[in-house]
Amino acid sequence: MKTFRNILSWGLPIIVALAVVFVVRTYLLEVVKVSGDSMEPNLRNGEAMIVTKPTPVKRLSVIVFDAYGEDPTAPKNTNYVKRVIGLPGDQVVSKNGYLYVNHRKINQHFISQTEQGAGTGNWTLGSLAKQHNWSYQGNTVPRGHYFVLGDHRSVSEDGRAWGYVDAKKIMGVVKVPFWEGSSVHRANVNSLAS
């Protein structure tokens, strides 16, 4: 009986701690690390950040999502970090270095004027779909999906190439970029697809 109490005295706190970590990582937040430069200058390669779950996804939210199946080149267990430009039902158009959502110009204060036009070109969702042979060929973001871009437009492999992100694949929203070069590394997030 004494042995059982000793095991319980140190075993129970460990089990409770593991359960708390599991619940927090599954339902509340997770620490992730950026790998790549497609979100520069806002998120740099190697920078750690907190991803909150469940948080409503809004236009211009930065999200982390499971890229496997979204980007045909992404291997299993690969997460990307990108910025949401189009919500379900939105029309997204790029014209002369500016983005328009539902015929309204988007304020992209988070990146330089040069980067706004770099690598963007003139397109509609329909023209991108036709060019890249997406399964959904419409001019609006399909229901239950999001259209995303990297902030470093000239190098980002993003929705312009592979289409939309299924809402079910979203891990969470980046809320708090914090310490850099930390040894805390819960998940590897690839912000640049190869």
| Catalytic entry in 33, 35, 82, 191 | 82
The residue written with tokens 């437009």 in the block is 153
Verify whether residue 169 is a known catalytic residue: no
Other Cβ atoms closer than 10 A to 62: 23
What's 39-89 look like in SS3? Answer: CCCCCCCCEEEEEECCCCCCCCCEEEEECECCECCCCCCCEEEEEEEECCC
Give the whole-angstrom CA distance, residue 170 versus residue 145: 10
Give the whole-angstrom CA distance, residue 22 versus residue 139: 41
| Catalytic entry in 33, 35, 38, 191 | 38
Verify whether residue 33 is a known catalytic residue: no
29-35 vs 188-190, strand pairing mode: parallel
Give the active site residues. 38, 82
